[in-house]
Amino acid sequence: MSTAIANPAFDHDPTAVTNPTEVQIEYLVRLTSGETVVVDGANAYQPEGPMTTFFSTGSSRATIDSWSIRVASFRTADVVSVRRSATTVEVVAERSNLAAPVAPVVLIAV
């Protein structure tokens, strides 16, 4: 008589669908006027002379470089504080991204 031993490494259900998660970053910029501005779509910022500029860098790059995209800029003298906020969200695949169903093919021998 054999005894089956459960192994979590092999207990994966290949039909189970798991949705990946993605981290969305936003910055809350408080200005001297008392206004708080939400900068969404940026994942880095740095002072550039008299301006503080927020950038969107590529997912594979961790530094601001010539390929970074400027998202927003504020006069540095008007910035009181910058607070980074990260939220984890579930990525949902759109129907258009799924593979189209394939029609069955019937072969007839002649």
pLDDT averages per 10-residue partition of the chain, 110 residues:
46 53 85 95 91 87 86 96 85 55 57
Task: List Cβ neighbours of 2 (8 Å cut-off, separation of 6 or more).
Answer: none
Decide: helix, strand or coil at residue 78: helix
Domain boundaries, given as residue ranges, for the chain: 21-92
Of the candidates 61, 68, 67, 24, the one whose C-alpha atom is nearest the C-alpha of residue 46 is 68
Element (H, E) at 29: strand 21-31
**Model's pTM, two decimal places?**
0.61
Task: List Cβ neighbours of 78 (8 Å cut-off, separation of 6 or more).
Answer: 31, 32, 33
